[in-house]
Amino acid sequence: MALANAFYSTFAKRNSVFVTSIFAGAFAFNVGFDVAVTSFWDRWNQGKQWKDIRSRYIQEESDS
């Protein structure tokens, strides 16, 4: 019961604080999920992406 009272008094007592905490939590989840999925995708497709094989096809120009 103490946990519920602490949650209510901290987040849900005022609607503006509740809505702000929902938006902040959704934003944090979005950023975390994006980082996790991008990391997984890069590991899963390592060696198949343009950033991995670019050096095979493009030669850097030198200033001679």
1-58 pLDDT, tens digit each: 899 999 899 888 999 999 999 999 999 999 999 999 999 999 999 999 999 999 888 8
pTM, two decimals, is: 0.68
| pLDDT(64) > 60 | no
Q: What is the DSSP letter of 1?
A: -
Give the whole-angstrom CA distance, residue 9 versus residue 16: 13
Work out the pLDDT band at 59, boundaries 50, 70, 90: confident
- DSSP H helices in 1-64: 2-7, 15-44, 50-57
Vertex 44 angle, CA 38 and 45, to 5°: 90
- Strand ranges, E, within the chain: none
